[in-house]
């Protein structure tokens, strides 16, 4: 027997990581993480046994070899703790189901959650070969680990054997275990960064800062304009509603009604009054996440906001390589008071099987989650999505806010029983009145089909105009028809990297403010949350909510008696496939029936979503069935908010190469974030062709450098890729 047993190799100070201490600290921390949702006993047991296999002499020899820089076969360790739980709860306690709640997180805390059925078979085979060794390791565990109070056996907590609530509970235990393990490992290898994690301002402090900023903000606003009167009423409604009970709330505000600031007011005040731990704002479009985060920073301070919309790719294995560990430890756990993220990051984390992405989940408990532009949730995964949201509200103390100008009918359709009997309260009860008071545009429907050449003529005849199209190819077609002789034509799409888009937006805003000529050709990236104010907007026929969002960029501040929104059918237009195409067809029918006055009536949007949900399979991939079977890898592979897989591509814009050099020298979260403004996304199926033709150069797995032309107006020219512009 070894004189000492270690969890990890020495840190920079030369100290080995004591295994007994590691197990005890992880158990205590995981239990504390799970306490808000009643999972403390499960998490404590998982923490105690997660590294049981490190009492294996072979693993200790592996660590010694790693320390000496020698090669040694990898020695899996997570399976031993899972096997012990299986013995205790399935065989010993005759509980055919309870073992899964702990064994799945323990076995997957490095490699990821497995499918329960396959794990049971693997553990049976493992025990046939290793039962004697397992007994020896347990003896060593009892000798070295001093446990003051062992929690009650977790199987006494009764959960339905086949229920999606149980499936999600296991995810939350997994999250608590992984985060506790990562944090204790980080404290060993990098005590400096571990200290940096502390020091976030508390929610009450953020609310105090917000109130102070709001007083200054209101003092500079002219309340007598119709738009500002509506914004004031929305804000005051949010303050009143924040005193209401936790649960599900709707924030329905017409475009330009100030829901970004007012929604934050509701979330912070509600969090203070009800003891919520954090506020999470999820937005579907990366094009507006940075803008929203910047608004919050100006209100609350730079140190108050965690902006998270990408992660460093990190290894998911049991290796002890220091660089791999540092990369893995850089994964976010959302231990911050205010997080601004993408809906992709939020929901794909909720359905993931990977440790680095699931790590943050336990921090969702007792939070306020504000889903901005909630109508953008893909219909084909609505059933599992809403099922998880309801579980968060009912089992984990979450208050959920559904925020948009075009509210979907989640609770008023026979096709979504997940929200069918759920009480949803209105934050702004008088929202219908606000839609009438904020009528700032006149909708026109262009009869017949409109060619790119004819559309270009109309655009040329206008001094300030925005054209929103359904695809990037269409945007390039119109740019081609406009020609190169107009210096005031601009383009926005995901062919442009984030830094380039911000530069374009700043120039367009400057021209609009000064009354200068500006003609902007854009895809859907401009529709939600981008603060532009054009006198005229042309919008290609698309899903109804998208048309309304585009109209929100017209006469936004109400400076004109009436703005002009022209809805047209492109003669050779393209549109993304799937639900987007279905939504376009539904909108086309409604336009013919009810155009144009009903566009100012929220009831039209409800009717639209009812028709849309009736024609789409809201669990197309049968994810709920996989969840009932506890098939975590299967669920993770099927649940996608963006159907097609994409890769990251670095484009040659401004400081891109310097940022890449920094990342290569020191690959970590901070240097990776520096790269973000210079990245675009391309579909995986395009990569092989583009690489063959010399457009792409691989940097690392799933990460490429663009070697083609990068045009100041059009961006990365030469791709055939045509997405819906909902970018990860």
Coil vs helix vs strand at 512: helix
Distance (Å, rounded) from C-alpha 175 to C-alpha 29? 12
Answer whether residue 288 shows pLDDT above 70: yes
Answer whether residue 153 shows pLDDT above 80: no
Q: Six-digit token pair at 515?
A: 């009354």
Using an 8 Å Cβ cutoff, are 504 and 522 in contact?
Answer: no
Q: In sequence order, which residues have a C-beta less than 8 Å from that of residue 674 and are 6 or more positions away?
A: 659, 662, 663
- Candidates 245, 636, 607, 623; CA nearest to 418 is 623
Q: What secondary structure does DSSP assign to 371-433, as a single string?
A: EETGGGS-GGGHHHHHHHHHHHHHHS--EEEEEESS---TTS-TT-GGGTT--EEESSTTHHH
Q: Mean pLDDT across the chain, nearest whole number?
A: 86
Q: In sequence order, which residues have a C-beta less than 8 Å from that of residue 676 and are 6 or more positions away?
A: 309, 310, 498
Which residues are 554's β-sheet partners?
534
Using an 8 Å Cβ cutoff, are 612 and 379 in contact?
Answer: yes
Q: If pLDDT is split at 50, 70 and 90, which confidence band does 129 have?
A: very high
Using an 8 Å Cβ cutoff, are 549 and 726 in contact?
Answer: no
Distance (Å, rounded) from C-alpha 82 to C-alpha 119? 9
Coil vs helix vs strand at 16: coil
Q: Which fold has domain 203-310+331-432?
A: Rossmann fold (3.40.50)
Distance (Å, rounded) from C-alpha 298 to C-alpha 91? 58
Using an 8 Å Cβ cutoff, are 283 and 373 in contact?
Answer: yes
Find the range with the poorest average confidence among 109-113, 455-459, 514-518, 601-605.
601-605
Find the range with the poorest average confidence among 328-337, 404-413, 712-721.
328-337
Q: In sequence order, which residues have a C-beta less than 8 Å from that of residue 37 and are 6 or more positions away?
A: 169, 172, 362, 365, 395, 396, 397
Q: How far out from the chain centre does Cα 22 lie?
A: 31
Q: Report strand pairing: 563-570 vs 6-8.
A: unpaired
| Helix residue ranges, H only, 463-497 | 472-482
Handedness of CA 183, 312, 198, 279 (dihedral sign): negative
Provide the residue ranges of all domains of the chain, joining segments of one domain with +.
6-196, 203-310+331-432, 439-600, 644-717
Q: In sequence order, which residues have a C-beta less than 8 Å from that of residue 259 and are 6 or more positions away?
A: 234, 251, 253, 372, 403, 405
Q: Give pLDDT, residue 328.
A: 41
Across the range 547-567, mean pLDDT stands at 87
Distance (Å, rounded) from C-alpha 201 to C-alpha 25? 25
The continuous run of DSSP H or E covering 716 comes out as: strand 715-717
- pLDDT tens-digit series, residues 33-56: 999 999 999 999 999 999 999 999
3-state secondary structure labels for all residues of 645-678: CEEEEECCCCCHHHHHHHHHHCCCHHHHHHHHHH
| Helix residue ranges, H only, 86-115 | 100-107
Q: Six-digit token pair at 118?
A: 């396959």
- pLDDT tens-digit series, residues 636-688: 999 988 766 778 899 999 999 999 998 888 887 678 778 888 998 888 777 88
Q: Report strand pairing: 679-683 vs 646-650.
A: antiparallel
DSSP 200: P
**What are the phi and psi torsion angles at 463 (to 5°)?**
-80, -40
Using an 8 Å Cβ cutoff, are 477 and 570 in contact?
Answer: no
- pLDDT tens-digit series, residues 295-347: 898 999 877 888 776 533 333 444 444 434 333 433 368 888 999 998 999 99
3-state secondary structure labels for all residues of 168-197: HHHHHHHHHHHHHHHHHHHHHHCHHHHHHC
Distance (Å, rounded) from C-alpha 653 to C-alpha 664? 18
Distance (Å, rounded) from C-alpha 590 to C-alpha 598? 10
Q: Which fold has domain 439-600?
A: Rossmann fold (3.40.50)
**What's the full length of the chain, in residues?**
728
Q: If pLDDT is split at 50, 70 and 90, which confidence band does 158 have?
A: very low
Using an 8 Å Cβ cutoff, are 32 and 131 in contact?
Answer: no
**What are the phi and psi torsion angles at 244 (to 5°)?**
-75, 175
Q: Report strand pairing: 399-404 vs 367-372.
A: parallel
Distance (Å, rounded) from C-alpha 587 to C-alpha 365? 38
Q: In sequence order, which residues have a C-beta less than 8 Å from that of residue 399 and are 6 or more positions away?
A: 246, 247, 248, 249, 270, 274, 276, 367, 368, 369, 393
Using an 8 Å Cβ cutoff, are 405 and 228 in contact?
Answer: no
Longest dimension (CA), the chain: 86
Share of the chain above pLDDT 90, in %: 51
Burial of 227 (0-12, 13-18, 19+ CB in 10 A): buried
| Helix residue ranges, H only, 552-668 | 579-594, 602-614, 623-628, 632-638, 656-665
Q: Give pLDDT, residue 331.
A: 39
Q: In sequence order, which residues have a C-beta less than 8 Å from that of residue 461 and are 6 or more positions away?
A: none
Q: If pLDDT is split at 50, 70 and 90, which confidence band does 722 have?
A: very low
Coil vs helix vs strand at 696: strand
Taking the chain, what is the end-to-end CA distance rounded to the nearest angstrom? Answer: 50
Coil vs helix vs strand at 308: strand
Answer whether residue 213 shows pLDDT above 70: yes
Q: In sequence order, which residues have a C-beta less than 8 Å from that of residue 687 and are 6 or more positions away?
A: 647, 696, 704
The continuous run of DSSP H or E covering 465 comes out as: strand 464-468
Coil vs helix vs strand at 73: coil
Q: If pLDDT is split at 50, 70 and 90, which confidence band does 527 have?
A: low
- pLDDT tens-digit series, residues 559-594: 888 899 999 999 988 877 777 788 888 888 777 765
Q: For the whole model, what pTM was predicted?
A: 0.85
């Amino acid at each position: 027997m070894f004189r000492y047993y270690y969890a990890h190799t020495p840190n920079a100070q030369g100290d080995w990581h004591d295994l007994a201490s590691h197990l005890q600290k992880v158990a205590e921390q995981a239990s504390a993480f799970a306490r808000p949702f009643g999972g403390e006993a499960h998490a404590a047991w998982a923490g105690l046994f997660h590294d049981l296999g490190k009492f294996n002499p072979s693993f200790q020899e592996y660590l010694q070899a790693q320390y000496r820089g020698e090669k040694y076969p990898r020695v899996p360790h997570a399976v031993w703790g899972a096997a012990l739980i299986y013995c205790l709860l399935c065989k010993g306690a005759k509980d055919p189901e309870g073992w899964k709640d702990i064994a799945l997180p323990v076995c997957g805390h490095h490699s990821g959650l497995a499918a329960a059925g396959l794990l049971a078979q693997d553990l049976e085979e493992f025990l046939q070969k290793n039962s004697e060794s397992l007994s020896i390791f347990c003896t060593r565990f009892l000798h070295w680990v001093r446990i003051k109070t062992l929690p009650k056996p977790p199987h006494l907590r009764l959960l339905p054997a086949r229920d999606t609530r149980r499936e999600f509970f296991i995810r939350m235990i997994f999250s608590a275990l992984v985060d506790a393990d990562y944090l204790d490992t980080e404290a060993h290898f990098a005590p400096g960064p571990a200290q940096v994690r502390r020091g976030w301002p508390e929610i009450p402090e953020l609310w105090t800062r917000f109130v102070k900023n709001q007083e200054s903000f209101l003092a500079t606003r002219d309340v007598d304009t119709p738009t500002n009167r509506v914004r004031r009423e929305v804000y005051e409604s949010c303050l009143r509603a924040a005193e209401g009970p936790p649960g599900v709330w709707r924030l329905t505000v017409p475009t330009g009604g100030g829901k970004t600031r007012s929604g934050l007011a509701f979330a912070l005040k509600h969090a203070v009054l009800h003891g919520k731990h954090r506020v999470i704002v999820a937005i579907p479009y990366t094009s507006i996440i940075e803008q929203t985060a910047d608004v919050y920073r100006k209100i609350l301070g730079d140190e108050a906001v965690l902006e998270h919309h990408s992660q460093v790719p990190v290894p998911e294995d049991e290796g002890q390589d220091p660089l791999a560990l540092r990369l893995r430890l850089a994964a976010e756990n959302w231990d911050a008071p205010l997080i601004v993220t993408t809906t992709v990051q939020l929901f794909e984390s909720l359905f993931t099987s990977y440790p680095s992405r699931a790590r943050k989940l336990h921090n969702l408990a007792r939070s306020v989650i504000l889903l901005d532009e909630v109508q953008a949730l893909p219909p084909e995964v609505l059933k599992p999505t809403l099922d998880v949201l309801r579980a968060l509200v009912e089992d984990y103390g979450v208050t959920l806010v559904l925020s948009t100008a075009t509210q979907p009918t989640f609770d008023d359709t026979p096709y979504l029983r997940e929200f069918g009997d759920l009480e949803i309260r209105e934050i702004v009860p008088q929202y219908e009145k606000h839609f009438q008071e904020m009528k700032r545009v006149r909708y026109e429907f262009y009869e017949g089909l409109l060619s790119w050449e004819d559309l270009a003529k109309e655009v040329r005849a206008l001094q300030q105009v925005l054209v929103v199209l359904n695809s990037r190819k269409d945007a390039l077609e119109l740019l081609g028809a406009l020609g190169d002789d107009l210096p005031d034509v601009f383009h926005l799409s995901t062919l442009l990297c984030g830094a380039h888009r911000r530069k374009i937006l700043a120039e367009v805003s400057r021209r609009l403010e000064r009354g200068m000529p500006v003609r902007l050709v854009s895809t859907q990236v401009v529709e939600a949350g981008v603060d532009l104010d054009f006198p005229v907007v042309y919008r290609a026929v698309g899903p109804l909510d998208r048309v309304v969002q585009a109209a929100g960029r017209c006469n936004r501040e109400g400076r004109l008696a009436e703005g002009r929104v022209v809805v047209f059918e492109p003669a050779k237009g393209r549109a993304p496939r799937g639900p987007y195409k279905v939504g376009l067809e539904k909108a086309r029918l409604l336009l013919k029936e009810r155009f144009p006055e009903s566009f100012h009536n929220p009831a039209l949007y409800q009717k639209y979503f009812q028709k849309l949900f009736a024609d789409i399979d809201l669990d197309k991939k049968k994810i709920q069935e996989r969840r009932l079977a506890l098939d975590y890898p299967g669920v993770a592979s099927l649940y996608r908010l963006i159907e097609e897989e994409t890769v990251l591509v670095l484009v040659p814009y401004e400081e891109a190469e310097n940022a890449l050099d920094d990342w290569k020298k020191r690959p970590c979260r901070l240097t990776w974030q520096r790269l973000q403004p210079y990245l675009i996304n391309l579909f995986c199926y395009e990569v092989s062709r583009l690489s063959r033709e010399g457009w792409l150069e691989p940097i690392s797995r799933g990460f490429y450098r663009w070697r083609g032309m990068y045009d100041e107006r059009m961006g990365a020219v030469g791709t055939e890729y045509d997405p819906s512009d909902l970018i990860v």
